Amino acid sequence: MFEPSLRWNAHFSQVIASAMWWSFQVAHLSKISGGMPPDRVGQLYNTVVVPTFTYAADVWCTGIHKPASGYKNRGSIAVTKKLTSVQCCATKLISGSLSLTEGDIMDAHTNLLSVDLLFHKVLFRAAVHIASLPSTHPLHALSHKAPHLCLQ
């Protein structure tokens, strides 16, 4: 989706809606009586839901970071918070924990990366792919002009 103001708000809402829809589909398969076992639900979440909200994240997502000159975090904070709540519901299904359990603890027990770390992983992977292009590739010269962008 392209907006004339070069904002990603419409895309953010589409990503969140897609992640919620797929999470609900996984939830239907993980019913307590007669559903899939928790380890398979976690595997299904990682192979189906995570790719839906990380698709092309290297284009639209900015990793959350604290700039050297400021106190406030920068990056795709709003979409990360909303996707964190979607993942929290999925980790409750996978782990079978109470709703009062902290999301970070549930992520650790279900072997899921938190959403901000997941986006950093996707962005780092994209930066490594661009940095490892052969010298004959058209993006090779551009990738070596901006090495500081990979460090944020």
50-82 pLDDT, tens digit each: 888 888 888 787 877 777 877 787 777 788 888
Name the pTM for this structure. Answer: 0.74
92 located within any domain: yes
127 located within any domain: no
151 located within any domain: no
Task: Give the chain's largest Cα–Cα span.
Answer: 57
Angle ∠(70,73,79) on CA atoms, nearest 5: 155
Domain range for residue 43? 9-115
* Residue 74 three-state SS: strand
pLDDT for position 150 = 47
Judge whether residue 109 has pLDDT over 60: yes
- 9 versus 18: which is more confidently predicted? 18
131 located within any domain: no
- Assign 33 a pLDDT band (cuts: 50, 70, 90): low
Provide CB contacts within 8 A for 89, sequence distance 6+. 23, 27
30 located within any domain: yes
List the one residue out of 25, 24, 37, 49 whose CA is nearest residue 113: 49
